[in-house]
Structure 1
Amino acid sequence: MAAEDTASTRLGAGRQHLRPLKRRGLVLLRLTAIVFAVLLFCEFLIYYLVIFRCSWPAVKTPADAGGLGTPEPVLRAMFLADTHLLGAVRGHWLDKLRREWQMERAFQTALWLLQPEVVFILGDVFDEGKWSSSQAWADDVGRFWKIFRHPPHVQLRAVAGNHDIGFHYQMNTYKIKRFEKVFNPERLFSWKGINFVMVNSVALEGDSCDICSGAEAELLEISHRLNCSRELLWWLRPRLVLSGHTHSACEVLHGAGVLEVSVPSFSWRNRNNPSFIMGSVTPTEYALAKCYLPCEDTVLTTYCTAAGGLVLLTLVHAGLVASPFHFGWNMLRKFKTT
C-alpha cells in the first residue's frame, strides 16, 4: 500500500508539473498566431483591401452617345511616377528592403486586381542613376525587374527623369543610352489606335545643346508622322500631358487648352500618401482616376496596437497585471451589489 501511495503521489506531482508547461505552450502558441496574423495583414492583405476599392473610370464612347458604328476600344493604362529605387550611396539596406517590398506588393496586387494593359513610369525610376557606377546600375536594374515583373501581355514603358540621367547640366549620351538599353527607347508608342509620345523632358531646356537639339528633332519628326503643325504645343497636339517629378497629382491647363496632370509618387519615401493614376483611354476620349495605396500610418498604428496587446497578454500571463476580463467582471459584480 505504501508503494502504491508513493506512485500515486509521484504521478500527481508529475501532472501538476506538466500543467504549467502546457499553459505556457498554449500562451506561446497564441502569441505566435497573433504575430503571424498581424504580419499577414500589414504586409500582404492590406494591399488587396485598399486597392480593391479602386476601379477603372468610365469613358464615354460614340456608342454611349447614341452614335452608330463599332464601339471604340478602351485601353486601360496605369501611370506611375517617381519610384526612386534607392541606390548604393544614399540607400540604407533596411530602408531599401522596406520600400521595395511595399512597391513590389502594391504593384503586383494592382496587376492582379486591375488587369492593366499598359503601365507607364514617368521618370525618376531610380534614385541614384545620375551618378551610379556600372555595377551599381546593374544591381538597381535587377532589383527593378524583380519588383515590377509583369506578364508578357502587359506593356511596360518608362521615360527618363533627372534622377535617372541627371539634370540638364549633368546628363550625357552615355547615361541616356544606358537608360534606353533597359527601357524601350521608341518615342512614339501606339496601342489600340492611341498614340503616346514618350518625351525626355530633361532635354527640353531649349538652349540648343547637342542632346536638346536631338530631342527636339525627334519630336519634330514625330509631329510630321502624325501630320501635326509646328505651331501647336510641343509641335504636337496632345489631348493630355502626363508628367512626374512633382510627387503630387496637380493639374495645369496650358494656353493651348491642353490639360497637364502631374502623376503622384508611387514610393512611400515621399511625404504624401503614395498613389497612381488609372486611365481609360480611347482614340477620342479619356477618363482618369486616382488609386491610393495603403497609408503607412495605418500600418504603423496596427503594429503599435498589436505590440501593446502582446505586452499586455504577457504581463497577464506572468501575473504582473490582472486580466482585463477578470477586472471587468469584478467591477460588474461590485456594481450589482451596490
Structure 2
Amino acid sequence: MATIRFGFGRLNFYLLKRRSFLLLKLIAVVFAVLLFCEFLIYYLVIFQCNWPKVKTSAYDSEQETHETVLKAMFLADTHLLGEVRGHWLDKLRREWQMERAFQTALWLLQPEVVFILGDIFDEGKWSSSQAWADDVVRFQKMFRHPPHVQLKVVAGNHDIGFHYQMDTYRIKRFEKVFNPERLFSWKGINFVMVNSVALEGDGCNICSEAEAELMEISHKLNCSREVNGLIPDQKQRSSHCENTQLQLASAPVLLQHFPLYRRSDANCSGEDAAPPEERSIPFKERYDVLSQEASQKLLWWLQPRLVLSGHTHSACEMLHGAGIPELSVPSFSWRNRNNPSFIMGSMTPTKYALAKCYLPQEDTVLITYCGAAGFLVVIMLVDLGLLASPFLLGCKLLRKFKTV
C-alpha cells in the first residue's frame, strides 16, 4: 500500500507540473500575439515607409535642395466616435489603433508638421458642450506630439456640420481648440487651409466671411508674386500692394476637407481607391464635393500648385484646370477602411514629392489572431493527451492491485 501511495503521489506531482507548464505556454503565446498585433506590427509596417526625395536639377542651389526641405504628414477623417453613436468597445479599439499608428509614425518618421484634413470628430456637428470637451481631451491624448512638431487642422462637416447645420457657435468652438489661421507659412512654403464647408456660395454671413478671408489671402499671394517679379506690371505693383504684408512668393498648397468638383471617382484607381462598384456613382455638389463655381474660385484666387483633400475616405488623384494636381487622402480610421494610410510630403518652395504610407491591414490582424487561436487549441489538445497518458496508466495500476 505504501508503494501504491508513493506511486500516486508521484503521478499527482507529475500531472500538476504538466498543468502548470501548459498554463505558462498558453500565457506566453497570448502575450506574444497581443504584443505583436497591438504594438509591434505598427513599427514593422511603418518602418518600411520612407520620405520621398525631391527631384532637383543642376540649377538648384545646395541650400534649396537640402536645407529648406519640409517634412509634412497629411491624414484625414479620423472620425473619433462620440457618446451617441460610439459603442465603448468600438471606441476603445479604433482609438487605440489610431493612437499607436500616429505615435509610431511620429517616432519613426520625425515629421515637422502634421495636417489633418477635417472630420476629426464624428459627432461634432451635434455634440453637447460636455461631450465636445470629452472628445477634445481624447483627441489631444491620441494625437499628442512634441513641441517641435506642429499640428494643423482644417474643419470638416462632421466637426461643425454641413452648411445647413453650421453656425457661429460650432465654428468658434472648433477654432478655440484648433488654430484658425488660414495662411500658414514655414520654410518658404505657403499652405492655405480652407473651411470648405463654408463655400456654399449662397451669400450667408459665414460664407461671405470665408470668401472675404480667401480673397485677402489671394491678394497677399498675388502681391508677393508681383514684388518678386513673377507678375511683370510695375505700376500695378506699386499701387494696390503698397500697404500689403507680403508673403514668400511660393505658390501655395491648398488644404481642405471637401474635394474640388469632380463628377465621380470613375477615373480613380489603386488599392485604396473606392470599391469598383462605387466609383461610377455621381457625386453631389456641396455634399460629396465642392460646387463647380467654388472650385473655380479657389483655383483662380489662390493658383495652388497642389491640392490635398479628404471627405471621401478613399484615395484619388485628379488634375484640374491647367494641370493642377489634387490628391484625396484616405481615412486614417480602421472603422472606415481595411487599409488606412497617410501621405508623406517632402516640400521646398518650388518643388514637392509625395509618398503614401500604408498602415497595418485589419484583415492581417484578424488572421493573426485566428491563427494564434488555432495554435492554442493544438497545444491544448497535445498537452491534454500527454496528461491523459499517465492518468490512464495510474488507473490500470490501481485495478491491478485491487484484483490482487
TM-score by length of 1: 0.89
Greater mean alpha carbon deviation, residues 90-99 or residues 71-80: 71-80
How big is the shift at 1:316? 2.2
What SS does the corresponding residue of 2:132 show, helix, strand or coil?
Answer: helix
1:319–1:11 Cα change, 3 Å: closer
Give the equivalent residue in structure 1 for 2:270.
Answer: none
Partner of 1:318: 384
Aligned to 1:241: 307
Q: Could you say which residue in structure 2 is the equivalent of 1:125?
A: 120
Q: Which of 61, 79, 82 lines up with 1:87 in the alignment?
A: 82
> What is aligned with 1:188?
183
1:296 aligns with 362
- 2:327 pairs with 231, 246, 261, which one? 261
- The aligned residue for residue 211 of structure 1 is 206
Closer, same or farther: CA 127–320 of 1 in aligned 2, 3 Å: farther
Q: Residues 231 and 42 of structure 1: is their aligned pair in 2 closer, same or farther, counting only changes over 3 Å?
A: closer
Note if contact 1:233-1:256 (Cα within 8 Å) is conserved in structure 2. no
| Residues 93-104 of structure 1 mapped to structure 2, 5 A cutoff | 93-104=88-99
How has the CA–CA distance of structure 1 residues 193 and 223 changed in structure 2, closer, same or farther, with 3 Å as cutoff? Answer: same
| More deviation, 78-87/10-19 | 10-19
- Stretches of 4+ aligned residues off by more than 3 angstroms: 8-13, 66-69, 228-232, 320-323
Matched, 1:23 2:89: no
Match 1:43 to one of 35, 38, 41: 38
Alpha-carbon RMSD across the aligned residues, in angstroms, is 2.2
Q: Determine which of 268, 283, 289 is the counterpart of 2:349.
A: 283
- The 5 A counterparts of 1:89-238 are 89-227=84-222, 233-238=299-304
- 2:47 aligns with one of 52, 60, 77: 52
Q: How many residues align?
A: 316
SS at match of 1:71: helix
Which amino acid letter does the alignment assign opposite residue 330 of structure 2? P
Q: Provide the rounded CA distance (Å) in 1 between the counterparts of 2:94 and 2:308.
A: 24
Q: Distance in 1 between matches of 2:37 and 2:333?
A: 17
1:272 and 1:203 map into 2 onto residues whose CA distance is 31
Provide closer, same or farther for how the CA distance between residues 205 and 256 of structure 1 changes in structure 2, counting only shifts above 3 A. Answer: farther
Query: Cα gap change, 1:260/1:80 in structure 2, threshold over 3 Å: closer, same or farther?
Result: same
Deviation at 1:194, TM superposition (A): 0.3
CA contact (8 A) 2:125 2:157 kept: yes
Assess, with a 3 A threshold, how the Cα gap between structure 1 residues 68 and 180 changes in structure 2: closer, same or farther. closer
Unaligned segments of structure 1, at least 5 residues: 324-338
| Aligned CA distance change for structure 1 residues 211 and 106 (closer, same or farther; 3 Å) | same
Aligned partner of residue 22 in structure 1, secondary structure:
helix
Secondary structure (helix, strand or coil) at the match of 1:195 reads: strand
Partner Cα separation in structure 2 for residue 39 and residue 148 of structure 1: 22
Same amino acid, percent of matched pairs:
80
SS state of the match for residue 145, structure 1? Answer: helix
Tell me if structure 1 keeps the 8 A contact 2:162–2:197. Answer: yes
CA distance in 2, matches of 1:123, 1:234: 23
Whether the aligned pair in 2 keeps the contact of 1:247 and 1:272 (CA below 8 Å) is no
Q: Tell me by how many angstroms 1:65 deviates.
A: 2.5
- Structure 2 residue runs of 5 or longer lacking an equivalent are 226-295, 390-404
